[in-house]
Structure 1
Amino acid sequence: MRKVILVVIMLSSLVVSTTAQQVKWKFSSVKQTNGKYLLSVTGKISPEWHLYSMASPANGPTPMKIKFNNHPLIKIEGGIKEKGDMIRQYEEVFDMTVLYFEDSVEYTQLVRWTGSQLVKTNITGTIEYMLCTNSMCLPPTKEKFSIALQ
């Protein structure tokens, strides 16, 4: 039993390590006017790998998801925008046409500071995504993030 647990732990570590090597995330914010900030989540995807779009059809691969945690002084304005060279291709393994990105993708979200005085703070959340090559997929990965508003 001890050996089985050790093997499971080692395999889990390998998957997390492999995922981290295949996409590098950068989180940032840019101050706009009237207390607004543009949040940016940018993924640099390793060659031969792709990441599925937020617009991927249901019952297919896990699409990119971004969730911002509630903050009492920050209001989300509009929806998340996805930017990059989206590829639309039929994938036999899913028996459907899927949408994905190679090389890089950027997600932006506009937020507004609702407090009376601006102070340094962070907005937190999670991203969930799935990476594949033409021959294999990694399990969906969920990561926490924190973006400073200054």
Structure 2
Amino acid sequence: MKKLVVVLFLFAAAVTKAQILEPVKWSTSVEKISKTEAYLVATATIDEGWHLYSQDVPEGGPVATTFTYDDSSKKFKLVDKTEEGKGHVVNDKIFEMKIKYFDGKAVFKQKIKLAPNQKLTINGSVEFMVCDDGRCLPPTTEDLKFEL
């Protein structure tokens, strides 16, 4: 009986230790600008103590946040680059360079043009990397869906 208890305890400890960290949760929305323009809005909610890197990071740094949108339907057109909020520019301890990152919440907006009164679902994805003050998680890709 003691062996069974020990085995169960070790198994529970291993499962607890092997939990996957997911410090960023993504949500999407659409902001209409006009009948033919809108913003695809991707919002990252970032757990306390973690930070998400900008779309523009120096070479040799972390993986930059990168958005892709499936425009194979040719029903919309991307306008310019995806915009991002102000964030923080710091001398990053892990990468030993000046880097822009976000904590708490980050909002990214991609302007698009489309035909008037278009009913459309736009699929996309975001690749991103997060770190806390002592470690980084491997880059992650999350699927995004925007309903117009």
- CA offset at residue 122 of structure 1? 0.6
How far, CA to CA, are the matches of 2:91 and 2:37 in structure 1?
39
Mapping of residues 5-16 of structure 1, within 5 Å: 14-15=19-20
Please tell me whether residue 112 in structure 1 is matched to residue 113 in structure 2: yes
Q: Percent identity of the aligned residues?
A: 27
Q: Mean Cα displacement is larger for which, 44-53 or 93-102? A: 93-102
Matching residue within 78, 81, 84 for 1:79? 81
- CA offset at residue 63 of structure 1? 1.1
How far, CA to CA, are the matches of 2:34 and 2:140 in structure 1?
35
Aligned to 1:27, what secondary structure does the other structure show? strand
Give the equivalent residue in structure 1 for 2:101.
100
Q: Give the structure-1-normalised TM-score.
A: 0.80
Runs of 4+ in 1 over 2 A off after TM superposition: none
Aligned to 2:89, what secondary structure does the other structure show? strand
- CA offset at residue 95 of structure 1? 2.6
The unaligned stretches of length 5 or more in structure 2 are: 1-14
**Matched-pair contact (CA < 8 Å) for 2:53–2:64:** yes
Query: After superposition, what is the alpha-carbon deviation per residue over 1:76-119, rounded to whole angstroms, capped at 9, x for unaligned?
Result: 112211014x22222243231221111111000111113xx634
Letter of the structure 2 residue corresponding to residue 123 of structure 1: I
- Matched residues, number: 132
Aligned to 2:49, what secondary structure does the other structure show? coil
Aligned to 2:133, what secondary structure does the other structure show? coil
How far, CA to CA, are the matches of 1:110 and 1:54 in structure 2?
16
How far, CA to CA, are the matches of 1:34 and 1:28 in structure 2?
17
- CA offset at residue 40 of structure 1? 0.4
Aligned to 2:55, what secondary structure does the other structure show? coil
Query: After superposition, what is the alpha-carbon deviation per residue over 1:25-83, rounded to whole angstroms, capped at 9, x for unaligned?
Result: 11010222131111100111110000001121121001111111113111111221101
How far, CA to CA, are the matches of 2:112 and 2:92 in structure 1?
36
Give the equivalent residue in structure 2 for 1:54.
55
Root-mean-square deviation (CA, aligned residues, Å) is: 1.9
Mapping of residues 1-150 of structure 1, within 5 Å: 14-15=19-20, 18-19=21-22, 22-70=23-71, 71-84=73-86, 86-114=87-115, 118-149=117-148
How far, CA to CA, are the matches of 1:45 and 1:139 in structure 2?
16
How far, CA to CA, are the matches of 2:119 and 2:92 in structure 1?
45
Aligned to 2:26, what secondary structure does the other structure show? strand
Q: Mean Cα displacement is larger for which, 70-79 or 39-48? A: 70-79
Aligned to 1:135, what secondary structure does the other structure show? coil
How far, CA to CA, are the matches of 2:45 and 2:56 in structure 1?
19
